[in-house]
């Protein structure tokens, strides 16, 4: 004879009965209204209670979850591609107390949600009932998605930073190459005048050497005088060659406190005979108490050589056979101002707007590469300085340069 089996009460109801409470009591209300999704399950993975938050999390009604197996919440790893940091929900987790992070559960609609699972094993006493698992699910799907997106953005930003560093290094290498090319271009423009400057002392040496041949039998005083002239002319050639070697060697970012007037004078040395041959007069009006500036002296010299050769060509283009270059300096607060003016042919508005563009030139083929003003602009920009041009066609040109005394104080 068989007796009828009573319907099993779920764990929550059984727990309430043990503490003297009935379904619908305040404890049942707290269970149902908890913010976190909660379910209880037996050791064999059968769900026997779930709250309202569990319905929202899984998409199943409480009635659908009750007496169901937790396997309905387990995603199929063979069919669904999970992130490498995710772990699928498994029934064994309900017998493992503790906190389990990044657990993937399967909703009724087929979507995956990511949760942090906290499992506690509860015992109902000594009446023979088996322990049961109380599982709290905290939905962290959006949080983890934001974390992954943040990591992705950080990686992209890091890669962009390294790419920017690489581009900056390539740009600096390209700038160094252009500066060196500009020096060689400037040297090419100066070649004719330099050849003349070297030829003059060389002819002097040859002449005095020939004269020595004729006076070897004469007094020692004449010999000493001729030898002194030979040495003097040799020294001139050595100075010219030494200056050329210093100017054309590859620049390094070696800054030091530099006398800007000395840089102007050095830039004019190689052009002095060319100016004289073209009837060009240089007027210097250097301001008093102009301090030294922190810069690379060779790069400053290159700026002034570029301005000088442009002024020379502009004056020559007038066909007058004469001209004047005026160079004024003064201090203006924490800056040094240099005014470089010529009375050459001047510029059109179009030429002025493109004057500092790389490779822009109004000179004939073979007379220039169009790098001089562009490189000068780049050199001054690195010093936090500036250069502007004021010019009208037929009325000459004036370049106004402003350089900080120490650009490090502005950076």
3 pLDDT tier (thresholds 50, 70, 90): very low
Name the pTM for this structure: 0.45
pLDDT computed for residue 366 by the predictor: 47
Find the mean pLDDT for residues 189-216.
Answer: 64
- Determine contact, residues 80/33, Cβ cutoff 8 Å: no
Domains present along the chain, CATH in parentheses: 11-139 (3.30.450.20), 143-250 (1.10.287), 254-411 (3.30.565.10)
- Nearest alpha-carbon partner for 116 in 96, 135, 95, 102: 102
Q: Which residues of 221-243 are buried (b: 16+ CB within 10 A; e: fewer)?
A: eeeeebeebbeebeebbeebeee
DSSP-derived secondary structure letter, 103:
E
- Determine contact, residues 297/263, Cβ cutoff 8 Å: yes
Q: Could you tell me which residues are beta bridge partners of residue 114?
A: 104
Determine which of 21-25, 94-98, 137-141, 346-350 has the lowest per-residue pLDDT on average: 21-25
Determine which of 115-119, 206-210, 359-363 has the lowest per-residue pLDDT on average: 359-363
pLDDT tens digits along 268-279: 877 887 888 889
Find the mean pLDDT for residues 339-358.
Answer: 84
CA distances for 195 relative to 187, 236, 280, 363, angstroms: 11, 13, 19, 22
Strand ordering across the sheet containing 397-404? 280-285, 323-332, 335-342, 397-404, 386-391
Find the mean pLDDT for residues 270-290.
Answer: 88
Higher pLDDT, 378 or 213: 378
- Determine contact, residues 285/326, Cβ cutoff 8 Å: yes
């Amino acid at each position: 004879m068989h007796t009828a089996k009573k319907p099993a009460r779920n764990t929550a109801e059984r727990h309430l009965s043990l503490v003297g409470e009935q379904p619908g009591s305040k404890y049942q209300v707290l269970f149902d209204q908890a913010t976190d999704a909660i379910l209880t399950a037996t050791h064999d993975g059968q769900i026997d209670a779930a709250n309202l938050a569990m319905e929202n999390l899984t998409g199943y009604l409480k009635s659908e979850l009750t007496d169901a197996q937790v396997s309905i919440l387990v995603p199929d790893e063979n069919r669904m591609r999970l992130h490498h940091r995710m772990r699928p929900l498994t029934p064994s987790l309900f017998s493992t107390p503790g906190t389990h992070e990044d657990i993937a559960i399967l909703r009724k609609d087929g979507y995956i949600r990511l949760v942090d699972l906290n499992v506690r094993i509860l015992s109902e006493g000594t009446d023979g009932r088996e322990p049961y698992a109380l599982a709290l699910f905290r939905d962290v799907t959006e949080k983890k998605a934001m974390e992954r997106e943040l990591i992705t953005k950080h990686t992209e930003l890091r890669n962009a930073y390294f790419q920017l560093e690489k581009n900056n290094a390539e740009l600096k290498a390209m700038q160094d190459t252009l500066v060196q090319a500009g020096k060689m271009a400037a040297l090419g423009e100066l070649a004719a005048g330099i050849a003349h400057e070297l030829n003059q002392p060389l002819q002097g040496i040859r002449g005095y050497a020939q004269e020595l041949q004729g006076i070897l039998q004469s007094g020692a005083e004449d010999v000493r005088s001729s030898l002194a002239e030979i040495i003097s002319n040799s020294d001139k050639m050595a100075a010219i060659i030494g200056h050329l070697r210093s100017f054309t060697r590859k620049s390094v970012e070696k800054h030091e406190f530099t006398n800007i007037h000395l840089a102007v004078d050095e830039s004019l040395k190689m052009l002095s005979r060319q100016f004289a041959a073209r009837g060009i007069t240089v007027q210097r009006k250097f301001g008093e108490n102009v301090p030294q500036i922190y810069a690379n002296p060779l790069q400053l010299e290159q700026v002034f050589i570029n301005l000088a050769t442009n002024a020379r060509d502009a004056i020559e283009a007038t066909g007058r056979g004469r001209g004047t270059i005026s160079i004024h300096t003064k201090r203006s607060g924490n800056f040094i101002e240099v005014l470089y003016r010529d009375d050459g042919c001047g510029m059109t508005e179009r030429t002025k707007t493109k004057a500092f563009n790389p490779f822009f030139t109004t000179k004939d083929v073979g007379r220039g590469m169009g790098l001089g003003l562009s490189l000068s602009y780049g050199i001054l920009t690195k010093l936090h300085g500036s250069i502007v041009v004021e010019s009208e066609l037929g009325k000459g040109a004036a370049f106004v340069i402003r350089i900080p005394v120490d650009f490090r104080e502005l950076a």
